[in-house]
Copies of this chain bind each other. A is one copy, B any other.
Amino acid sequence: MHFHLQEAIEVLERTPQALALFLSGLSAGWLQSNEGEGTWTVTQVVDHFIEAERTNWIPRLEFILQEGEGKPFPPFDRFAHLGKKDDASVERKLEQFKELRALSIAKLLERMSEEKLLECTGYHPAFGVVKARELISTWVAHDLTHIAQIARIMAKRYSADVGPWKAYLGILK
């Protein structure tokens, strides 16, 4: 086990800024590219970050603190962002993500003001009993998952362009 709240926050606070730096100003070809039918574009991954920030992490943490194990928390719809039409630029979306994340971290610090609160438990509709510290760890791993996904989507855009080097690039398989 490696979880420490402060180290988790180190990652959470960097994600929106690093993404803003990496994606702002990129050509539409990069931002609209995906991994094939039924997969997300880079921009849709950003939409998903925003949706999760709004409806998943802090709301679930607060649900745990309020309800304990007595009531399962409402399932998070991982595809909700796909049904919403949002034509804002990726720069605007990343700005929005940055603002939401800053608020989330402020609330996280407020709610987890004591070490022992990390051990609070709630009830996940599919998994059963879960701890606040597991939810926060998942938040971090979820950020990293989608950073890796963005890099993979973009790499795959050049699957044919790399020619024979494809053999050395595991990410393209």
Contacts and interface: CB of A to CB of B under 8 A. Distances in A.
A127 to B, nearest CB: 4
Nearest to A19: B18
B160 A1 contact: yes
B127 A145 contact: no
A131 interface: yes
A32 B150 CA distance: 24
Main SS of the interface on chain A? helix
B161 A133 contact: yes
Interface string A74-113: 0000000000000000000000000000000000000000
A17 interface: yes
Interface size band for A: 35 or more
Contacts of A1: 160-161
Interface string A155-167: 1011011111101
Nearest to A25: B10
Interface string A1-20: 11110110011001101110
